[in-house]
Structure 1
Amino acid sequence: MKYKLLLSVLALGVSASTFAAQRYITNDLFIYMHSGPGNNYRIVGTVNAGEAVNELEYDSDSQFAHIHIIDSGKDGWIEADKLSNTVSLDAQLKQNQTQLQQTQQQLKQLKAETQQTEQSKSETIDQLQQQLSTEKQQTTQLHQQLSTIMAENKKLSSQLSSIQENVQMQWLLRGGMVAGAGLILGLIIPYLPRRKKHKEERWM
């Protein structure tokens, strides 16, 4: 019985790792990874925006996903809504730029091929120029979206720094109040009236 149970557990583990789905982190600044499915679990690291990960399992109760970072090999739990089936805008922009360069190269090659008829060349060049114009518009849109996201990330970083400074200031103020109270007590105690001893007077 125990042997069959062990085989079942091993089979489930192999199945989970085999069917791990590749996902991408959304365009946030960074995301904390936890040791379990929830924000109450210990933070074990961070994962940056746009990184490719494997989704190992999903917890429907907490809506957290167990991920494995492909590049670093680390794993942890993050909120499932931070995962995307598509690559980040930054990666899309690079891919679009590569396609743009390839289209430009094809356009140059077609212009250099004088063996084709002028009509065929003209039609092909028009199609490529239209495709080139469309890809330029897509590249411009991706640039704008990426700039907006970078501005939002910068704002979030500034807010995080401000919060950390406020926390440090509160600790300093509390420490100063405790030290001040100790100093005042140290100055007052020597001047407090001492209790007189009446034992010797009774024997007299």
Structure 2
Amino acid sequence: MRYKNGLIAGLIGLMMFSTAATAATRYVSDELSINMRRGPGTGYRISELLNAGERLNTLSEANGWTQVRTSDGTTGYVLTRFLSEQPAARTRIASMQEQTEQFKKENEELKQQLEEVRSGSQELTETKSALQSENEDLKQRLQQLRETSADAVRISNENEKFREELLSMRSDNERLRHENAALQSRRDGMKIGALIMIGGIIVGLVLPLFRRKRKGSSWDSL
């Protein structure tokens, strides 16, 4: 019966203690390490020694004691006054130092990236200058090709003109050759005609002389 009454009293005490506290995160004060006990009182055995700055999850709070759970899942009770809503100073400092190192690392990476960007920008500038120079060279070549093309067209037109003139001259030469041949033929004919005429004149002059000579010979014979 006495055991039963003690059990009931214990349950009532636990019910009073376990007045639900809003679940929250607490940190062990950075001034010292604290004991975590199996129950809400100094009469309970110490189950674990919690380091300063250790992070805890609160489960309930009553009568100056807080039920907590450690990061490895162990539950127990600690004095509420040894808990803080903010991480321990050295924990915050360590976190800040870690963040600072991370920022330094990121800063170095950003500097390196900036140098790469600058180097890439310089390369792009040089490439742009080279492309501009090449573009100017291509423009000059294009202009030369246009001029050469214009000269080629002009020369082709001149050659065509000369070809037509040559054909015309050949035609004129052929016509003149035929005319010369015709004139040569006419001249030869005129020469022959003149010779015939001269021969006829000579015959006409000489023949009467022969006739007179014959008549004279006849009279002499009589």
TM-score range, shorter chain: 0.3 to 0.5
TM-score by length of 2: 0.38
TM-score by length of 1: 0.40
Task: For CA contacts below 8 A with separation 6 or more, give which structure has more relative contact order.
Answer: 1
> Could you say which structure has the higher helix fraction?
2
- Which of these two proteins has the greater Rg computed from alpha carbons? 2
